[in-house]
Amino acid sequence: MNKKEIKEFLDDKVIQYNNPKFIESDPIQIPHRFTLKEDVEIAAFLTATIAWGKRNMIIKNANKMMELMDNSPFDFVMHHKTDDLNKFEGFVHRTFNSQDFKFFIAGLQHIYKNYGGLENVFLKNSTSKSTQSAIHTFKKIFFEIPHAQRTEKHISDPLKGSAAKRINMFLRWMVRKDFAGVDFGIWQNLSPAQLSCPLDVHSGNVARKLGLITRKQNDAKALAELDTSLRKMDKTDPVKYDFALFGLGVFEGF
């Protein structure tokens, strides 16, 4: 396929997958349970944090996280007592355990109390063309309170070479307004044009087959290459193609 044909092919796949049916089998269903802005963004952030491995287990464990926070994530983050965290004991999703979960509650409280919330941190530190430096700064702020060193691995840093798939996915959920009922678009002061595609093994493999990237590793350099290719196809909403790349890889084995 030539470039025009690739764009037409991917545009059709975006329409196919960017619709409410996508929610049924995707972790994005967890934040869709909430209506309060802060509940949505906290549920989305925690769900995205554990979004690796089998999707059914991600959904199951993200649901468990919400239950442990009494299905009121913002209220729990802001008003929990130390003893309330005891019920987290035994929670685990792959390498994310109860110790990590407890710190994430503290880190989120720190962000909301001292920085005006998650959106404010990313808004202040994004550039006109990228949110990648904002992710780096967010990680620094999130971990500026006492924490176990092991927990730092659960937030990636694009300035240290990571594609930061999970936090880029979280930002897509928050910033991109798709009018199809999937992405929330509740952070209206950031633009979809600033976002980077959540790059993982599925989207990466499809992107290589289509000639959108040449780099073999799914890292920050590959992400920059993919961003450049996707912005040539749609400079205002490049990450819409995440639906196409992911759908082709996961559902069609492209």
Half-sphere exposure of 195 (CA within 13 A, CB side): 32
Task: Name the token pair of 22.
Answer: 């996508």
Residue 18 tokens read as 């960017």
Q: What is the share, in percent, of the chain residues with pLDDT greater than 70? A: 100
Q: How far apart are CA 63 and CA 43, in angstroms?
A: 9
Q: How confident is the model at residue 179 (pLDDT cuts 50, 70, 90)?
A: confident
Distances, alpha carbon 88 to alpha carbons 45, 75, 102, 104, in Å: 18, 16, 7, 12
For residue 152, the model assigns a pLDDT of 97
- List all residues 6 or more positions away from 51 whose beta carbon is below 8 Å from its beta carbon: 27, 58, 166, 169
* Paired tokens of 106: 């503290």
Q: DSSP letters of 219-250? A: BHHHHHHHHHHHHHH-SS-GGGHHHHHHHHHH
Whether the model clears a pTM of 0.85, i.e. scores above it, the answer is yes
pLDDT for 11? 98
Q: What is the pLDDT of residue 138?
A: 98
Q: Are 142 and 154 in contact (CB under 8 A)?
A: no
pLDDT in tens, 122-159: 999 999 889 999 999 999 999 999 999 999 999 999 99
pLDDT tier at 253 (50, 70, 90 boundaries)?
confident
